[in-house]
Structure formats: structure tokens, C-alpha cells
Structure 1
């Protein structure tokens, strides 16, 4: 069975959607490990509730990014991880992980890339006054949200939408699109 690790820094909605899809065998993989860089992140409680192993690895505990990624790689090797799904992981992945998991690290982003990369994509879309934004699932490369696009779906921005209402629509789409896309890649 394919073993999947999820990297997350926040609340963990996408992590839970992926774990649920694995549990229901919609994704032919075991959600084996959560890697988190924030000890107070809500995703940790979700992992505990789902009985999924998790490890908190904080960059501040390491002298260099290479040391930090070596610690992550040691965990990935210990859990025999095959694929990595980034789900609100707020760090750029470095060369060690990219080399070890070439074409096996996937990310989700709350916009139709290449529009609105990086942080605050939902706010960026609202500030730009666009009528449509969306969700992109892409392979991870050295850049910020620059990897090859795997899947995209649009979200209409309705008159009166604000950051909260638009985020709700985007998250609903993410929780459907990400597991479906991972299933196509892994199954």
C-alpha cells in the first residue's frame, strides 16, 4: 500500500479531507504521517482524533534549512513514505526533499495559478476585483506555486463576497478537488 505524508501548518481541513478519502479507500493509500512545523496548529488535534501519527518539526530548532529538511527526511524514511501532500504548509520545500521525492510532492493553492501565487491569495483576488478565482493542485518545484499544474477548478466571486465567504467556497472546493486529484495520481 502506498504511504502518504501530509505537511501542514494550520487548521488542517485539507489534511482531514485527505485522511478521510484514504480511510474510505477513495485514495489507494494510507495517510501514515502528519509533519507539522507549528506546535499549536489545529491540524495536530485532527491527527490525534484520526489516530494518525504526527511529528512537530520546528525550523527554529535547526541551524540551517538543510538540517531541518534532514530531520524531516529521517521521519519520512522511518515511516516509509511514498508521496507527500502539502496542505497549508507555509514553507518553501528545499532541494533535499525535492530530490528525494521528485514528482511525488503535491500542493494545493487557493487560486487559479499562475494568478495570485504566495500568501493571501483569496485577499489578492478580492483586491484585484476579479469575478472568478479557484483552486489549483500542482507539483512542487523550487519556486513559490510555480510547479506543473495537475488540476484546477474555478470559484465564482459573487457580489458581496468578502474574505470569509470566499474562503468558505474555496475550502469546500479544496476538500473535494484535492482528494480526487491525489486519487488520480496515486491510484
Structure 2
């Protein structure tokens, strides 16, 4: 993978998705409206042949590939799965700089992530601490709330009865939903919220945050004390 954008060479993104692709659409819209100068989507990959995100990509003349991801090819701790090996080849073929997991419903192994250090980011529908680790988060009003990880984060927020949840964009590490944070935003939980209604409001925030995160990556200021500059530029 090439280095972070330091010239007029566009920052090339791969977007990995499994479903609707609304966050892909947010990136497409931002690029086409000149909100993300110097950024282009080089490749869209889905493990689901029926993912509408693939159609979104094709409508905008973007390379869109269905990559079968069978359950027999589960990532191992010491080596990449066959699926990941094929994905790695695609990413290198398309000269991708950063990988955006936008509703990608598969876990990526540590050996895969080691191929692309600090170049894989994920959207998570809950608030994560700055360094991604820990079991609690302090909201803007000083309230301590649990950290919800995994696929049921929105449901967990409702079940816990908290008043604030949100969305986080973070670097991907081998530990699920535990990487350093790039940006995040709080979302109020309303008394009448269902899982669906709350998730829809979180998605609105996600669409804004993913654009902000990519802008930071392109400007080379997606830097925190937990992920120094030299770490995000090495490869």
C-alpha cells in the first residue's frame, strides 16, 4: 500500500461492506461535491452478492467486487484465511491507501491487519474511549457509561437505560472495537426510542463522521497520543 497523501496523488480508499452501503454513499457524495479533495474510492468489496452497496458503487462507475467469504475460511491467529489472502491481493492490485470497514460483517485476523498497519478504520455505533480500550466512557456532561462493543451495541445501550450513546470511527486492531479513536459524536437516547429508531439517528451521525475521519486521514491529522504520527506513516 502506498503512503499517506503527501502530494497531488489522490488518497485511494477501499470500502468493505456487507449490506446497504449508506456510509459508502456518504463518501461518494462528499467526494463528488468536492468536500474531500484529493480522495478517491479505488475499490468497493462485499462478501454479500446482494449487498445494495455494490449497486451504489456501480451507479457511480466505481470498481465493485463480490468476494465470497465462506464460513470454512475463518481467520486464524497465526495466518490469514484464504479469503483474506484474496482480499489482500485485490487491495494491492488496486493500490489502496486506506481500508474503510463500512458495515463489513466479518472479523479480520491479526495477520491480515499486520499487512496494512494503521490503515484499516471501522465505524462503530457506540462511544469508545480514546485508546479504544477500557470498559467505561465519560460523556461530555461527565456521566460514566458502559462501553458497548460487538454487533448489538445499539440494543445494549437501550437495555442499559443510558441517556447518551453515539458513533465512533476508530483504527482496527485484532481486538474487536478496541482500536484508537479518530473521531466520535454523542447521540441522545430518547425515551420512546426503539432499536431501529436509535440506530437510524446513529447512522445519520456516522455519515458525517466517516467523511470527517477520511478528511483527517488525508490531512494527516488523524493523530492522537495513542497513535503517534510516525505510526500512521510507517508501512
> With structure 1 as the length reference, what TM-score do the two structures score?
0.94
Corresponding position: 1:162 with 2:191:
no
- 1:41 aligned residue (41, 48, 51): 51
Corresponding position: 1:9 with 2:41:
no
- 1:90 aligned residue (83, 102, 105): 105
Q: 1:101 to 1:22 in 2, by over 3 A?
A: farther
Tell me how large the CA RMSD over aligned residues is: 1.6
SS of 1:141's partner is: coil
Q: C-alpha offsets along residues 70-128 of structure 1, whole Å, 9 cap, x if unaligned?
A: 10011111111111011000111113431221011111100012511001211111111
SS of 2:70's partner is: helix
Give unmatched runs, 5+ long, in structure 1. none
Give unmatched runs, 5+ long, in structure 2. 1-9, 76-80, 130-146, 220-235
- 2:156 aligned residue (119, 124, 139): 124
Structure 2: distance between partners of 1:149 and 1:2: 20
Q: 1:63 to 1:121 in 2, by over 3 A?
A: closer
Corresponding position: 1:140 with 2:155:
no
Superposition deviation, residue 7 in structure 1: 0.5
Superposition deviation, residue 23 in structure 1: 2.6
Superposition deviation, residue 25 in structure 1: 3.2
What count of residue pairs does the alignment treat as equivalent? 187
Superposition deviation, residue 62 in structure 1: 6.7
Q: What residue is the counterpart of 2:34 in the other structure?
A: 25
> With structure 2 as the length reference, what TM-score do the two structures score?
0.75
Structure 2: distance between partners of 1:136 and 1:148: 10
SS of 1:97's partner is: helix
SS of 2:29's partner is: helix
Structure whose CA Rg is larger: 2
Q: What residue is the counterpart of 1:183 in the other structure?
A: 215
Structure 2: distance between partners of 1:139 and 1:160: 33
Please give the residue correspondences for 1:64-75 in structure 2 after superposition, counting only pairs within 5 Å: 65=75, 66-75=81-90
Please identify runs of 4+ aligned residues in structure 1 that moved more than 6 A. none
Structure 1: distance between partners of 2:27 and 2:72: 29
Q: What residue is the counterpart of 2:142 in the other structure?
A: none
